[in-house]
Amino acid sequence: MQRDLLDALRCPGTHEESWLVAMVLEASGSTLRVAELACPVCGAEFWIDDGVAYFTSPTPLAPHTPAVPAEPYTSDMVLRLAALLGVAESQLPVALVGRYAAASGVLASFVSAPQLLINSAPAIHTAGASRIIVADRLPLGVESLAAIAVDAAHASPAFLDSASRALRVGGRLVAPADAPLPAGMRELARDDSEWVAETTMRASGLIELRRRAPESVL
């Protein structure tokens, strides 16, 4: 897990957004190896172990960890994915969910943006990429992603809605052709296997807490 991504993490619970409180126990340069994460709103606890951030409970097991596709991603296939994502350079990460994570190594030669691999197979390793294990929602703040590709195993309405919230305005979402289009997104293209859409509006984000003025004393 790259240290720069820490500020983008949020509790996946259904309440107002809040930064997570982190206690870093082990780090190597810009990589967090072991850390404890806690939500100040609901008290939920998460962790980073061996560089992987786990947002599942009670044990760090991925509920939908996919196998690596039997057919390896070719340069042409990844070039097509890069075109769908519409990102060449960005300081915000590009997220690859499930089976799409198998394209991460080749995609790095086309896209210089940081990569976030979500519920990827354990055998997939890409230098500089961050890995997150999640359940049914993305633990990411508003406008923390440049683009995201979501495979069929994760394309539920709740997951896609959390993906669209995490995208910057104009960021692209690639999903299976039969997946529902989240609100606030405009479809750009579609074929028999996938559609690609872009966000058209900004989602609500962190709620600022303000101190209430004291009541007048009579």
Domains of the chain, earliest start first: 3-54 (no CATH), 75-199 (3.40.50.150)
Compute the Cα dihedral for 110, 203, 185, 180 and give only its sign. positive
- Predicted confidence (pLDDT) at residue 35 exceeds the cutoff of 60: yes
3-state secondary structure (DSSP) of residue 182: coil
- Predicted confidence (pLDDT) at residue 15 exceeds the cutoff of 90: no
Q: What is the pLDDT of residue 57?
A: 58
Full-model pTM: 0.86
**Which residue carries 């300081």 as its tokens?**
91
In angstroms, the CA 92 to CA 112 distance is: 10
Long-range contact pairs involving 34-42 (C-beta distance under 8 Å, separation at least 24): 35/1, 37/9, 39/11, 39/13, 41/11, 41/13, 41/15, 41/16, 42/11, 42/13, 42/15
Amino acid at 22: A
Amino acid at 27: A
Written as six digits, the tokens of 10 are: 């949020």
In angstroms, the CA 136 to CA 55 distance is: 10
Q: Are 159 and 136 within 8 A, CB to CB?
A: yes
pLDDT of 50-105, one tens digit each? 999 999 854 444 444 454 555 668 888 999 999 999 987 888 999 999 999 999 99
Q: What is the pLDDT of residue 82?
A: 94
| Mean pLDDT, residues 23-42 taken together | 94
| Mean pLDDT, residues 204-218 taken together | 46
